[in-house]
Structure 1
Amino acid sequence: MPGARSQKPDATAPPSYIFLVQHLIEKCLVFNMDQQECVDALSKHANIQPLITITVWNELKKENEEFFSSYLQKQNRRK
């Protein structure tokens, strides 16, 4: 996602970790996961704390409002 670099949600988390979480969230989006599905998947498979995933997701959402608006509309039609 262009311009999707997020601020660190945890002052102790290095930027590379945040970029990893961002990359994994983008993979979740490719698989049409909603936020909770992504949080659950990253917690289970990548051992990422839910709060970190939620924080990075919310920052991405703020920085990419148009994309997420469209994505969430598609999610709602899917259900």
Structure 2
Amino acid sequence: MSKEECMEALSKHANIKPVITSTVWDELEKENKEFFEAYLKGRDQRATEIEKRQRIQKKLNTFSSTQ
């Protein structure tokens, strides 16, 4: 979940103002740099894998429709 997704979810489900969530998130990032670096790296890797799978699936679909 990204910072923006977290802000939206907490605003919607817990009535916490986005500015509060943003401030807390920023402070957590400052205090836990290693955690957030690993978190963001893992999230980026998952996004890359998803994009790669989607490209492969699109190619397979295109190939199947030409057969």
Please report the TM-score for the alignment, with normalisation by the length of structure 1.
0.58
Please report the TM-score for the alignment, with normalisation by the length of structure 2.
0.68
State the partner residue of 1:47.
15
- Could you list the runs of 5+ residues in structure 2 that have no partner in the other structure? 48-67
- Could you list the runs of 5+ residues in structure 1 that have no partner in the other structure? 1-32
Greater Rg over alpha carbons, structure: 2
Structure with the bigger RCO (C-alpha within 8 Å, sep 6+) is: 1
Segments of 4+ in structure 1 off by > 3 A? Answer: none
Aligned residues: 47
Q: Percent identity?
A: 60
Superposition deviation, residue 65 in structure 1: 0.2
Alpha-carbon RMSD across the aligned residues, in angstroms, is: 0.6
